[in-house]
Amino acid sequence: MAREQLSDVRYGWNGFADRQDLATALAGEIADRLTSAIAKRGTALLAVSGGTTPAKLFAALSTTPIDWDKVTVTLVDERFVPPSSPRSNAGLVAANLLQNKAAAARFVPLYHEAASIEDAAATDSEALKSLPWPLDVVILGMGGDGHTASFFPDAGNLEELLDPVSQRIVLPVHAPSGGEPRLTLSMARIVAAGFIAIHIEGEDKRAAFNGATGPGAKKPIRRVLEAAPRPIEVFWAP
């Protein structure tokens, strides 16, 4: 594991020789954090991103022997599509994470059938209100444009999404670059987590991360790094 700092914002850099080593190490870190939360308050709350990048991580985490029946899993963000869609983050999490030992975890989705994305966000916020906040662990990804969660640079309500003191839980997102409308946890909810990791893979993502977080950058990923009260850990493999 190598560590470096290539920006004027604080973060931990954890570099690995290959993606399986990354998955194993990050799964172990998540398991330790969840176990610690369970020991302290009898429950743990985990929010994960979707996409194909975390497939190896989810597979490694799903076999980790922790008290999964005391863990609640939700999503950082979701497309406004039903779970049956191949673009659904909930579907990917169900297929890759909520298997093996992790099948005992409780899953709280973000997607709900609704007349509009705004109605869905309101329903989600009500449904998630009873979760044991704050989040114990958050796993984020990052797009080549510097977005994380569904904080797209061209989102019409980006400043609302990135409000560090927002009381909102789930917000709707309309961003041309994001395709279909999205639902996302607010940045305020994300950065309040006990442990946050950004999981990226490939030389292109490493270059994009360095560019999006360097001095003078205004990308959403940098805004999240700046808002977090504790340094976020970045996990990368080529």
Say how far apart CA 236 and CA 198 lie, in whole Å: 8
Mean pLDDT of the residues in the chain: 95
Q: Give residue 113's identity as a one-letter amino acid code.
A: E
Residue 168's contacts (CB-CB under 8 Å, 6 or more residues apart) are: 125, 160, 186, 188, 189
Q: Is residue 68 situated within a structural domain? A: yes
Q: Is residue 231 situated within a structural domain? A: yes
Q: Is residue 13 situated within a structural domain? A: no
Residue 7 has pLDDT above 70, yes or no: no
- Going across the sheet that includes 232-237, the strands are 11-15, 232-237, 195-201, 137-140, 44-48, 71-75, 106-108
Read off the pLDDT of each residue in 22-39 and give the average, rounded to a whole number: 98
pLDDT tens, 73-92?
A: 999 999 999 999 999 999 99
Residue 180's contacts (CB-CB under 8 Å, 6 or more residues apart) are: 79, 80, 81, 87
Q: Is residue 205 situated within a structural domain? A: yes
What is the percentage of the chain residues whose pLDDT exceeds 70? 97
- Whether residue 145 contacts residue 152, with contact meaning beta carbons closer than 8 Å, is answered with yes
State how many domains the chain has. Answer: 1
Structure tokens at 197: 């990791």
Q: Is residue 15 situated within a structural domain? A: no
Task: Report pLDDT for 6.
Answer: 52
Task: Report pLDDT for 225.
Answer: 97
- Whether residue 183 contacts residue 172, with contact meaning beta carbons closer than 8 Å, is answered with yes
Task: Report pLDDT for 2.
Answer: 44
Specify which residues 11 forms β-bridges with.
232
Residue 97 has pLDDT above 70, yes or no: yes
Q: Is residue 58 situated within a structural domain? A: yes
Residue 52 has pLDDT above 90, yes or no: no
Residue 8 has pLDDT above 90, yes or no: no
Q: Is residue 76 situated within a structural domain? A: yes
Using only the alpha carbons of the chain, give its radius of gyration.
16
CATH number at residue 204: 3.40.50.1360
> Which residues span the domain enclosing 232?
51-185+192-216+225-236
Say how far apart CA 4 and CA 10 lie, in whole Å: 11
Read off the pLDDT of each residue in 100-112 and give the average, rounded to a whole number: 97
- Residue 209's alpha-carbon distances to 98, 137, 179, in angstroms, are 29, 21, 22
Nearest to 48 by CA among 183, 192, 199, 230: 199
Output the pTM of the full model.
0.96
Query: Confidence band (pLDDT; 50, 70, 90) for 3?
Result: very low
Residue 36 has pLDDT above 70, yes or no: yes
Task: Report pLDDT for 96.
Answer: 95
- Whether residue 157 contacts residue 179, with contact meaning beta carbons closer than 8 Å, is answered with no
Q: Is residue 38 situated within a structural domain? A: no
Cα 59 to its chain centre, rounded Å, is: 16
Backbone dihedral region of 51: left (phi > 0), alpha (psi from -120 to 50 degrees) or beta?
A: left
Query: Confidence band (pLDDT; 50, 70, 90) for 50?
Result: confident
